[in-house]
Amino acid sequence: MTLERAIRAVVLYPHIMDVYADRGNLIALRARCRALGVALEVANVGLGDPLPTEADLVLIGGGQDAEQRRVAPDLFERRDTLHRWVEEGAGVLAICGGYQLFGQAYRTGAGDELPGIGVFDVTTVAPPLGWERCIGDVLADSLVEGVGEVVGFENHGGRTYLGPRARPFALVRFGHGNNGDDPSEGAVYREAIGTYLHGPVLPKNPALLDRLILAALRHRYGPDESLPEVPGDEWAVRAHASAAEVARSRGRPRT
């Protein structure tokens, strides 16, 4: 197959921010790009590494408080470049701890306030000791065009609250979502998506995967780009259906 188009992906802190197999999102991205005939250039960026000059897609996974403390100052130093890419329309997938640090700030259980880079107008606060964690299977309806139903697994102590300029990525049917009180899950700004969904999330949600690839293509080549009519992976479709059924049977229902 001749690969006539290419996208550039940046993976932030892959050896630090990678809980619950978030690295599987890059594996799914590679496989789907190959099926679509799109070449994928990947740059892994660790602490202190220089950012590439351009990116069409940014991935960052989750991490616990210790990992977030390590990366937060380094990420903050990169905020101007990351904001520029987002404003230009590059795709972003920020998972759990990465999502929190792409918000305004995260106040840890120890009372430390980690600065976020402010892509999403959200703030995360660790609750008092004794509060239950938000753990379990999630089934939600995405508010991003073309994505539809999304599934995944959440495990977070922090409660995330949307500010006036934020809009949620999805509305939860089963699970806790951002905070367990309102039905919101994640956040969206332009083509940037923040979410608490692990699993990893992309192998179980092929429509979301295609949406991110399309955003990356349009960032690089222009708004008229489209994806070829290539069937989705049968196993991804089955994985989505299975995860949705699990969430319905044992997930926390919204009341």
Picking from 11, 12, 16, 15, the residue whose alpha carbon sits closest to that of residue 70 is 16
Per-residue pLDDT tens over the stretch 18-50: 988 899 999 999 999 999 999 999 999 999 999
Catalytic (active site) residue 198: yes
Domains of the chain, earliest start first: 5-250 (3.40.50.880)
Q: pTM, whole model, 2 decimals?
A: 0.96
Catalytic (active site) residue 96: yes
Sheet hosting strand 105-107, strand order edge to edge: 113-115, 105-107, 122-125, 159-162
Per-residue pLDDT tens over the stretch 133-176: 999 999 999 999 999 999 999 999 999 999 999 999 999 999 99
Q: Give the active site residue among 33, 96, 156, 240.
A: 96
Q: Give the active site residue among 134, 156, 176, 198.
A: 198
Per-residue pLDDT tens over the stretch 165-216: 999 999 999 999 999 999 999 999 999 999 999 989 999 999 999 999 999 9
Give the C-alpha distances (Å, rounded to integers) separating 76 from 2, 21, 47, 56, 89.
Answer: 39, 24, 12, 20, 20
Per-residue pLDDT tens over the stretch 105-122: 999 888 889 999 999 999
Picking from 230, 219, 226, 229, the residue whose alpha carbon sits closest to that of residue 58 is 219
Say what the pLDDT of residue 232 is: 79
If DSSP states are collapsed to H, E and C, what string results for the chain? CCCCEEEEEEEECCCCCCCCCCCHHHHHHHHHHHHHCEEEEEEEECCCCCCCCCCCEEEECCCCHHHHHHHHHHHHHCHHHHHHHHHHCCEEEEECHHHHHCCCEEECCCCCEEECCCCCCEEEECCCCCCCCEEEEEEEEECCCCCCEEEEEEEECCEEEECCCCECCEEEEECCCCCCCCCEECEEECCEEEECCECCHHHHCHHHHHHHHHHHHHHHHCCCCCCCCCCCCHHHHHHHHHHHHHHHHHCCECC
